[in-house]
Amino acid sequence: MCGIVGYLGRRNAMPIVLEAIKQLEYRGYDSSGVAWHSDGKVLLHKKKGKVSSLEATSILDEIESNLAVAHTRWATHGTPSDVNAHPHTDATSSCAVVHNGIIENYESIRQMLMKRGIRFETETDSEVIPQLIGYLYKGNFLRAVQRALPLLQGAFAIAIIHKNHPGEIICVAKECPLAIGLGQNEMFIASDSHAFLKFTRRVIFLRGSELARVTENGVQCFDGRRLPISKETEDLEHAAVEISKGNFKHFMLKEIYEQPQTIQNAYLSRFSEQYGTAILDEISLSDEELLKIQRIVILACGSSYHVGLLAAYMLEEKARIPVEVEISSELRYKNPIVLDNTLVIAISQSGETADTLAAMRELKEKGAKIIGICNVQGSTLAREVDSCLFLRAGPEIGVATTKAFTSQLIVISLLTLRLARMRQMSQQEGRHYLQALIQLPQQLYSILARVNDIRELAKKFAHYENFFYLARRFMFPIALEGALKLKEIAYVNANGYPAGEMKHGPIALINPNCLSILLFPDQDEVTFTKMINNAMEIKARGGVIFAVAVEGTKDIEKIADALFFIPRTKDIFLPILSTVVVQLLAYFIADLRGAEVDQPRNLAKSVTVE
Ligand code: BG6
């Protein structure tokens, strides 16, 4: 997935689009580029790597233009290179295109145009867009784009400028996000509105399959059948927030440290201790409808999927409702069964992950009621679900999620409490549940206060090339998350497993060069002794163990080669405390190995292509 922006107005477009595209670098940073209009020509400058390497060439410092588009890339077709970087032009350099998404039938269009003598410069799918528009252009820019669109298959968002049309940008959204910012005699275009929030909060969101012809003084919108449509202008409440690392070396570390606060934000004014229940006014379903729920389907990707797995344990244990957790990209093509009284929960930090959006739409079409759990106001998911529970975690910049993950867990804990209190959970039990929940920020501070211990452990472990994360019940999804974090940012082979599953295969990999990280529950918890047995099985094969255990756990020192204690709390909330330990461990190992922690290779903050 990529980020695209555009500017048209009276100011110099270059500094504006460069500033805006940097805001979208979380969407991909394999290459970047800009195209601008100048004296009847469309010129461009593009480079492999981040926007910083584009700017480093200082070519752009001298550029003055009131019309420009820019791009930051997450490569899908064609290796990251200067040539494959966007923008792309047609063979006569008449128009330039920036594209987010995938043109699935690009090969046949390419062949068709090559037969007509069109020469292609790049390996990308995107280049077929300007080449097709260039081929169809007969003087009417809008018409050429409208004639090209029906030939393009896939989900995409594009912005196009043309040398003969210095006063307009044409942009198209087809199942991919695109926002148009309305300023005073100037217009902004971006994949995500926060890229231009600094300049305007008046926004038009293109949806479904829509096209917009943007000029300095206005926007004309058309639907997929080329019919003019009027679009609502939304005033976004949330303002642009200056996002800086402060004194932290990386956004990821800063966001880990924000968690005591973001956890509080997630539950503030969302519970009543007196009634021992959660108050979730954002949910539009009535109490009757919530009481009738007989099945819950959760869909998500990546770390959000791990939150979904933990949600299933919570909801089944506390609310006694059967839960299925689905990986969105699989559910999408599974022809899912939606029975009456099925609640769907779609979890996505960004609210833009294409797999989750597609799966959500599939279930919605089948009549399911959808609750979204999301961190981005104005995101596609937030706008399409029946109710959205926002995380209130603030923008998350680090590509590997941290604070959004624990905030998702808090929101899920509140939803669990709400549904459980409507069923068999007593007011007293509800109160105890909330008392444990509101202690979490303080307990997190106590873990962060011992960050040096985790940094020292990371120094001990950073040389390992193979890691197992093992746990049971509520802690198992955190074992998966811990392993994913190490894979994502330190590029190390790490696998999360239910501890009981080790003996059915993976234990074959245990040796003194493999580190096993065991996440222990409280020693009173039913699986504690089973975890001890699993630890003994690993020790018996010369494996090395780092144990994360609850304060006061006895005799664990005898088994573990390294140990970190976390504060005691309810078994349902222990995963939130152990999450911060595995986040910090992955962070320090990645930093010690010199990895680009905030923008790991090959990843993007959320992926808007299937
Ligand atoms: C990936 C991110 O692209 O998408 C992960 O790198 C994230 O951190 C996953 O968990 C799902 O994203 P979202 O926004 O749908 O929660």
The protein residue whose alpha carbon is closest to atom 7 in ligand 1 is: 302
Q: Is the CB of 608 under 6 A from ligand 1?
A: no
- Is a pLDDT exceeding 70 seen at residue 32? yes
3-235 and 245-447 agree in CATH topology: no
The protein residue whose alpha carbon is closest to atom 3 in ligand 1 is: 606
Confidence category of residue 1, pLDDT binned at 50, 70, 90:
low
**Probe target for ligand 1 pocket from 191, 251, 255, 303, with the most ligand atoms within 8 Å of CB:** 303
> Quick check: helix, strand or coil at residue 361?
helix
CATH T-level assignment (fold) for domain 245-447: Rossmann fold (3.40.50)
Give the pLDDT confidence of 549-600 residue by residue, as tens digits: 999 998 899 899 999 999 999 999 999 999 999 999 999 999 999 999 999 9
d(CA 496, CA 516): 10
- Is a pLDDT exceeding 90 seen at residue 72? yes
Q: Is the CB of 350 under 6 A from ligand 1?
A: yes
Q: Which atom of ligand 1 lies at the shortest distance from residue 404's CA?
A: 16
Give the pLDDT confidence of 108-124 residue by residue, as tens digits: 999 999 999 999 999 99
Catalytic residue status for 2: yes
Q: DSSP secondary structure string, 146-159?
A: HHHGGG--S-EEEE
- Is a pLDDT exceeding 60 seen at residue 480? yes
- Using the mean position of ligand 1's atoms as its centre, give its distance from the Cα of residue 355 in Å: 10
- Is a pLDDT exceeding 80 seen at residue 241? no
Tally of CA atoms within 13 A in the half-sphere of 5 that contains its CB: 29
- Using the mean position of ligand 1's atoms as its centre, give its distance from the Cα of residue 536 in Å: 35
The protein residue whose alpha carbon is closest to atom 12 in ligand 1 is: 606
The tokens for 520 are 């222990």
Parallel, antiparallel, or unpaired: how do β-strands 323-327 and 295-300 relate? Answer: parallel
**Probe target for ligand 1 pocket from 1, 255, 301, 360, with the most ligand atoms within 8 Å of CB:** 301
Q: What is the pLDDT of residue 155?
A: 87
Q: Is the CB of 353 under 6 A from ligand 1?
A: yes
Q: Which atom of ligand 1 lies at the shortest distance from residue 375's CA?
A: 14
Q: Which atom of ligand 1 lies at the shortest distance from residue 400's CA?
A: 8
Give the pLDDT confidence of 253-264 residue by residue, as tens digits: 999 999 999 999
Q: What is the pLDDT of residue 323?
A: 98
- Is a pLDDT exceeding 60 seen at residue 242? no
In this prediction the pTM is: 0.87
May I ask the CATH class of domain 3-235? alpha beta
- Is a pLDDT exceeding 60 seen at residue 239? no
Give the pLDDT confidence of 325-356 residue by residue, as tens digits: 999 999 999 999 998 899 999 999 999 999 99
User: How far does Cα 169 stand from its chain's mean position?
Assistant: 28
The protein residue whose alpha carbon is closest to atom 2 in ligand 1 is: 605
What is the pLDDT averaged over residues 81-89? 96
Q: Which atom of ligand 1 lies at the shortest distance from residue 304's CA?
A: 16
- Using the mean position of ligand 1's atoms as its centre, give its distance from the Cα of residue 606 in Å: 5
Give the pLDDT confidence of 190-209 residue by residue, as tens digits: 998 889 988 998 999 998 89
Q: DSSP secondary structure string, 396-454?
A: --SSS-SHHHHHHHHHHHHHHHHHHHTTT--HHHHHHHHHHHHHHHHHHHHHHTTHHHH
Top-ranked range on mean pLDDT: pick from 232-236, 316-320, 381-385: 316-320
The protein residue whose alpha carbon is closest to atom 5 in ligand 1 is: 302
Catalytic residue status for 176: no
The protein residue whose alpha carbon is closest to atom 13 in ligand 1 is: 348
- Spell out the domain ranges in the chain: 3-235, 245-447, 450-610
What is the pLDDT averaged over residues 2-10? 96
Q: What is the pLDDT of residue 238?
A: 55
- Using the mean position of ligand 1's atoms as its centre, give its distance from the Cα of residue 301 in Å: 6
Q: What is the pLDDT of residue 180?
A: 96
Beta-bridge partner residues of 235: 202
Confidence category of residue 266, pLDDT binned at 50, 70, 90:
very high
SS (H, E, C) 568-609: CCCCCCHHHHHHHHHHHHHHHHHHHCCCCCCCCCCCCCCCCC
Who contacts 604 (Cβ-Cβ below 8 Å, separation ≥6)?
1, 26, 27, 28, 74, 399
Q: Tell me phi and psi for residue 94, to 5 degrees.
A: -85, -35
Q: Is the CB of 398 under 6 A from ligand 1?
A: no
Crossing angle (nearest 10°) for helices 128-136 and 141-148: 120
May I ask the CATH class of domain 450-610? alpha beta
Instruction: Let me know: does 67 contact 169? Beta carbons within 8 Å.
Output: yes
Mean pLDDT, the chain, whole residue set:
94
What is the pLDDT averaged over residues 476-491? 98
Distances (CA, A) of 383 to 172, 205, 289, 555: 19, 10, 21, 52
Confidence category of residue 210, pLDDT binned at 50, 70, 90:
very high
Instruction: Let me know: does 49 contact 599? Beta carbons within 8 Å.
Output: no
Q: Is the CB of 599 under 6 A from ligand 1?
A: no
- Is a pLDDT exceeding 60 seen at residue 240? no
Q: Is the CB of 303 under 6 A from ligand 1?
A: yes
Q: Which atom of ligand 1 lies at the shortest distance from residue 303's CA?
A: 10
- Using the mean position of ligand 1's atoms as its centre, give its distance from the Cα of residue 569 in Å: 28
Q: What is the pLDDT of residue 27?
A: 87
Q: What is the pLDDT of residue 467?
A: 98
User: Which of 2, 171, 176, 388 is an active site residue?
Assistant: 2
**Probe target for ligand 1 pocket from 1, 606, 608, 610, with the most ligand atoms within 8 Å of CB:** 606
**Probe target for ligand 1 pocket from 26, 298, 304, with the most ligand atoms within 8 Å of CB:** 304
d(CA 371, CA 387): 5
Q: Is the CB of 302 under 6 A from ligand 1?
A: yes
